[in-house]
Amino acid sequence: MDSKIAIIGLGYVGLPLARLFATKYSVVGFDINQKRISELNSGNDVTLEVDEITLKNVLVNNSSAAIGLFCTHNLEDIKDCNYYIVTVPTPVDKNNRPDLTPLYKSSETVGKVLKKGDVVIYESTVYPGVTEEECIPVLEKVSGLKFNVDFFAGYSPERINPGDKEHTVEKILKVTSGSTPEIGLKVNELYKSVIIAGTHLAPSIKVAEAAKVIENSQRDINIAFVNELAKIFNILEIDTQAVLEAAGTKWNFLPFKPGLVGGHCIGVDPYYLAQKAQERGYHPEIILAGRRLNDSMGEYVASQVVKLMIKKGVTINGAQLLMLGFTFKENCPDVRNTKIVDVVSALTDYGIQVTIYDPWAKPEEVWHEYQLKTTNELPTMTFDSLVLGVAHKEFQTLDLSKLKNDNCVVFDVKGVLKDKADGKL
């Protein structure tokens, strides 16, 4: 039987994957967001992960095409598929507890069309056990089919890096797994057919789930370490960047930099692993300590900015500050879980008037998520303080002198302004 693939969720992960599979297979991209489907069918990807020409080259106008991508919000259009790949978000709630709602709902969706012999593959980042202990029971209940008898499952963790045009999905080695050894091989061959970087077949779904969640937990802990170093060296009046450059001359020193840890992966995934560990009676110390430290950095940045402003004689209450950047990372429109919001909140608590300029972030999306006003246009007024929070390419050549009042403080969170800043992490 020919492989026909349904991608469930067409966001930062699902669309690039759908586009790639569509170069060799019949692919139906499914998303409940009708506006998103309309935009994609016109060749417009607002996430900027797939450009218009590339997208239009794979789009087809019906779900029965032998090769190509058909985007839809109609459940009927995915009922003929035999592979269902789930790429929905896995966020945390306000208390940093894993929220599996998107996974449950997408599993219900797939369960409605699941047939004998079908394979359901999950790519969403989860703690070990979610696929088999949480998602599979939903599939069985809705479909009436029996797992590993009538249908099968796989897990292949996403490794998308939003905004990265060099390390695209086909160039990143893919971990794969299956619910039986035979299905593992089938899942591996499916991905191997389009991933030029190759694949790694894990011995079980839980191993693959665990591998993904520790990738980002490891980065989180390493960044927390250098964030703590930045705090220590600031007290000692030592340039953190200079220290890291010196230490980096040793061949096995890891090149991490201090900063704000946001986004939908590094700032979220460690909580998934911690949750599972706590369910089994183990309290993870290093993982949660790293999370606490990284989550404190927004308020720390704000306090450092205020100290510099006071030293320069700037009146804090009512001061005008320009925040350069709001997205969670550079050259990317994604504002999910951005930690710039923590900096803005802390600065506002000091009585500072904050203007947020970000040429990448969509003002309506920022308002919807955070009830904050942002602008895509560089302000024409001058400010008492400038804070570079995100290293967008537009900021590299920005003439800061036109934005500065007398005694203006410039704080560089990302360490890219070299000698132009009064303070940095």
Would you name the residues annotated as active-site residues? 265
- The set of residues, in sequence order, having a beta carbon less than 8 Å from that of 327 and lying 6+ positions away, is 333, 334, 335, 338, 340, 358, 360, 361, 390, 392
Q: What is the C-alpha to C-alpha distance for residues 245 and 257, in angstroms, rounded to an integer? A: 10
Quickly count: other Cβ atoms within 10 Å of residue 345's Cβ: 15
**E strand spans, 282-424:** 320-324, 353-357, 374-375, 383-388, 404-412, 423-424
Q: Residue 312 has which token pair?
A: 């320069």
The DSSP bridge partners found for residue 178 are 154
Task: Determine contact, residues 177/190, Cβ cutoff 8 Å.
Answer: no
Phi and psi, residue 340, nearest 5°? -60, -30
Within 13 Å, how many C-alpha atoms sit on residue 124's CB side? 33
Phi and psi, residue 176, nearest 5°? -130, 165
Q: Residue 241 has which token pair?
A: 């960047």
